[in-house]
Amino acid sequence: MSFSKEYAALEREFKAMVQKDNKKFGLKSTYLRNFVPKAPADFVLIAMEPSGGASSDADSPIKLGANARNFAYSVEDFILHFCVKNYLCAGAETYHLTDLSKGMLPVEEAKGSSKKRWNRWYPLLEEELELVAKPCAPIIAIGGQVEGFLKKKGTPNFAGRVLHYSGSAIGHRKHTPCQHPDLYKEFAPTVSFCDIKKTVKEVFSPSHLNFLWNLR
């Protein structure tokens, strides 16, 4: 079976698990597809779960189109892709971004059952890593909660964590440059938002995404 067909079969399991979560926990989560490499990737980064924004704000939750993707809606998402592609990957190396659980929920609704759902999803994450990660590909956590969970599970090839890219980590984002002012002063002029947009368009274009207006 080809890589694409194996991943399609795995996606059917993802969708079924989202429905099981909804029934068990009384949720209304939605499966949100990830960007998928054409073959096993050199690096895999794992976040918590797709965020649907703030349930208290009618304008916040993401409105899904038929061709929607995870890690594709915010400036922070764009920066994450840029950093992984330009500072982690070398040459033709590839990466895969995924989550512990795959159901998109507003942040407030996700909190109560997150850990229970992560445990339910972990066998599927193992299947995903077996398929999408090269045998020695480093597995990198996005944020401290995911790091702790993967360490507890003894995830093979776990390589550590990176700072979470969402707005909830804004305090750390401001604090880190202050710790290394000279390095930050040297680094800051080397990248612009135009560079980020160029990289993200390269990542998004093969999927024919319908929300590239965000990048104008």
Per-residue pLDDT 10s for the chain (216 aa) are 899 999 999 999 999 999 999 999 999 899 999 999 999 999 999 999 998 764 434 444 455 666 788 998 888 999 999 999 999 999 999 999 999 999 998 777 767 789 999 999 999 999 999 999 999 999 999 999 999 999 999 999 999 999 888 766 677 777 778 888 999 999 999 999 999 999 988 888 876 564 444 555
Give the H or E element holding residue 43.
strand 43-47
Q: Whole-angstrom Cα distance, residue 172 to residue 143?
A: 11
- Please report which residue ranges of the chain form alpha helices under DSSP H: 3-25, 75-83, 107-111, 114-132, 144-153, 170-179, 181-187, 193-204
Full 3-state SS string of 126-189: HHHHHHHECCCCCEEEECHHHHHHHHHHCCCCEEEEECCCCHHHHHHHHHHHHHCHHHHHHHHH
* Cβ contacts of 54 within 8 Å, gap of 6 or more: 60, 61, 106, 107, 108
For residue 105, the model assigns a pLDDT of: 86
Given a contact cutoff of 8 angstroms between Cβ atoms, the answer to whether 100 and 70 are in contact is no
Picking from 124, 171, 132, the residue whose alpha carbon sits closest to that of residue 7 is: 132
For residue 109, the model assigns a pLDDT of: 73
* 92 φ, ψ (degrees, to nearest 5): -95, 10
30-31 and 103-104 beta bridge pairing: antiparallel
What CATH architecture does domain 3-215 belong to? 3-Layer(aba) Sandwich (3.40)
For residue 112, the model assigns a pLDDT of: 73
Q: Over the Cα atoms of the chain, what is R_g?
A: 17
For residue 53, the model assigns a pLDDT of: 60
CA angle at 186 for the pair 83 and 174, rounded to the nearest 5°: 65
For residue 62, the model assigns a pLDDT of: 52
For residue 215, the model assigns a pLDDT of: 54
For residue 66, the model assigns a pLDDT of: 63
Q: What's at 58, amino acid-wise?
A: A
Given a contact cutoff of 8 angstroms between Cβ atoms, the answer to whether 77 and 196 are in contact is no
For residue 59, the model assigns a pLDDT of: 42
pTM, to two decimals: 0.89
